[in-house]
């Protein structure tokens, strides 16, 4: 009898949870607890870390999990590594439900960097108006470049004011649309976008808006995740989990 653990936090994870609930598959959805009020899911949901690899392996054994789907964000690399090693230790099958990287198209002006520090190092020049579409965990890295005005798009109102002398906060949870992101960039006079190569549809609107407005993008490439079975459709994941 299948009991599926969905490691969530993405649009794809939510779509999978909906399909799993409609199919009546026994499942648990898992959030890290990064935001105040995560989206409600149509299956039982747990919120919070597992306690590293050992905590994860114990969880899946104690809760009789038969299959694990890693549908976390491509930058949630620590969770992906923990799930990989935890499933190996517990002898439970794992697949990743992932989304392809974004690639620059005609009219795009992208600079690829390896990580957040690489993005910061592109900001040595004179003052700009920078859209930081990275969430609150990455904001402090930009304190070394105080000459810029930062437009910070965050899921929750931050409890502590960001350590950036010139910034605007936009509290907004995706998925986003092109009209909204174009209006955001125009109203704030954005002349540079910094973002992660998240893939998927929930966060790509800003790239289309940047292309239309001729705004350059600093694209942070994905961190390394384990080599594991990857799937890209809900049907393939459901077939895998129920046969
Ligand atoms: C807690 C759970 C769904 C999932 C929706 C997707 C789309 C909207 C776009 C921008 C980029 C960013 C950020 C983003 C997007 C979806 C998806 C996605 C990017 C929620 C959610 C949780 C989080 C955590 C949050 C991070 C932050 C990243 C904001 C829910 C809304 C920037 C990633 O304030 C913080 O601390 C935010 C933290 C991790 C990245 C970071 O490193 O700081 N996501 N986002 C999950 C948990 O607790 O386990 O309430 O839905 C989910 C979504 N955010 O079901 O519809 O599929 O990617 N999330 C990025 O892509 O760069 C915003 O502003 O343009
Ligand atoms: P991370 O750095 O890979 O993970 C750090 C720790 O957070 C993990 O070791 C684990 O704690 C816990 N954790 C992460 N995801 C979890 C989940 N789904 N369920 C339970 N515990 C989880 O993770 P992150 O980048 O902070 O991402 C956290 C969440 O936000 C994930 O659900 C991810 O899908 C979502 N998200 C992240 C981004 C992003 O840009 N990073 C974007 C959109 C959504 P323990 O070690 O204690 O088990």
**Does residue 35 line the site of ligand 2, with CB under 6 A?**
no
**Does residue 79 line the site of ligand 2, with CB under 6 A?**
yes
Going from the Cα of 32 to the center of ligand 2, the distance in angstroms, rounded, reads 5
Q: What share of the chain is helix, strand, coil (3-state, %, to 5)?
A: 35, 20, 45
SS3 99: coil
Are 229 and 212 found together in one domain?
no
Position 105 in a domain:
no
Are 207 and 179 found together in one domain?
yes
Say whether the peptide bond before residue 175 is cis (omega within 30 degrees of 0). yes
Are 128 and 202 found together in one domain?
yes
- 100, with CB counted inside 10 A (0-12, 13-18, 19+), is exposed
Q: Which domain holds residue 37?
A: 3-99+224-242
The enclosing domain of 42 has a CATH number of 3.40.50.720
Are 231 and 197 found together in one domain?
no
SS3 192: strand
CB atoms under 10 Å from CB of 132, counted, come to 25
Are 31 and 129 found together in one domain?
no
Are 150 and 214 found together in one domain?
yes
Position 212 in a domain:
yes
Are 236 and 212 found together in one domain?
no
Span 40-90, pLDDT tens digits: 999 999 999 999 999 999 999 999 999 999 999 999 999 999 999 999 999
**Does residue 78 line the site of ligand 2, with CB under 6 A?**
yes
- The strand pair at 192-196 and 167-171 is best described as unpaired
Going from the Cα of 9 to the center of ligand 1, the distance in angstroms, rounded, reads 7
Span 169-205, pLDDT tens digits: 999 998 999 999 999 999 999 999 999 999 999 999 9
Are 85 and 176 found together in one domain?
no
Instruction: Say if pTM beats, i.e. exceeds, 0.85.
Output: yes
DSSP-derived letter for residue 120 is H
Position 156 in a domain:
yes
**Does residue 134 line the site of ligand 1, with CB under 6 A?**
yes
Which ligand minimizes its atom distance to the CA of 28?
A: 2
Cα of first residue to Cα of last residue in the chain, in angstroms, is 10
Which ligand minimizes its atom distance to the CA of 207?
A: 1
Whole-angstrom distance, CA of residue 84 vs CA of residue 70: 9
Concatenated DSSP letters for 13-65? HHHHHHHHHHHT--EEEEE---SSSPPP-SS-EEES---HHHHHHHHHHHTT-
Are 195 and 236 found together in one domain?
no
pLDDT given at position 181: 98
Which ligand minimizes its atom distance to the CA of 155?
A: 1
The predicted model gives 104-117 an average pLDDT of 97
**Does residue 175 line the site of ligand 1, with CB under 6 A?**
yes
Are 15 and 30 found together in one domain?
yes
Position 186 in a domain:
yes
The structural domain count of the chain equals: 2
Are 117 and 216 found together in one domain?
yes
């Amino acid at each position: 009898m299948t009991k599926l653990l969905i490691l969530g936090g993405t649009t794809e994870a939510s779509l999978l949870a909906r399909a799993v609930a409609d199919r009546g598959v026994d499942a648990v959805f898992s959030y890290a607890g990064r935001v105040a009020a995560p989206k409600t899911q149509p299956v039982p949901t747990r919120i919070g870390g597992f306690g590293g690899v050992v905590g994860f392996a114990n969880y899946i054994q104690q809760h009789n999990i038969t299959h694990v789907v890693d549908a976390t964000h491509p930058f949630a690399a620590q969770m992906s590594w923990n799930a990989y090693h935890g499933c190996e230790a517990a002898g439970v099958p794992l697949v990743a439900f992932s989304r392809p990287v974004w690639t620059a198209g005609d009219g795009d002006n992208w600079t690829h960097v390896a990580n957040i520090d690489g993005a910061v190092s592109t900001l040595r020049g004179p003052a700009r108006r920078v859209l930081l579409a990275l969430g609150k965990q990455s904001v402090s890295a930009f304190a070394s470049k105080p000459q810029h005005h930062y437009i910070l798009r965050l899921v929750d109102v931050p409890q502590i004011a960001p350590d950036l002398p010139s910034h605007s906060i936009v509290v907004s949870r995706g998925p986003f649309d092109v009209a909204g992101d174009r209006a955001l960039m125009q109203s704030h006079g954005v002349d540079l976008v910094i973002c992660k190569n998240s893939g998927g549809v929930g966060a790509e609107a800003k790239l289309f808006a940047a292309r239309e407005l001729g705004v350059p993008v600093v694209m942070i490439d994905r961190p390394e995740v384990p080599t594991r079975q990857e799937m890209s459709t809900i049907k393939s994941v459901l077939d895998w989990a129920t046969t």
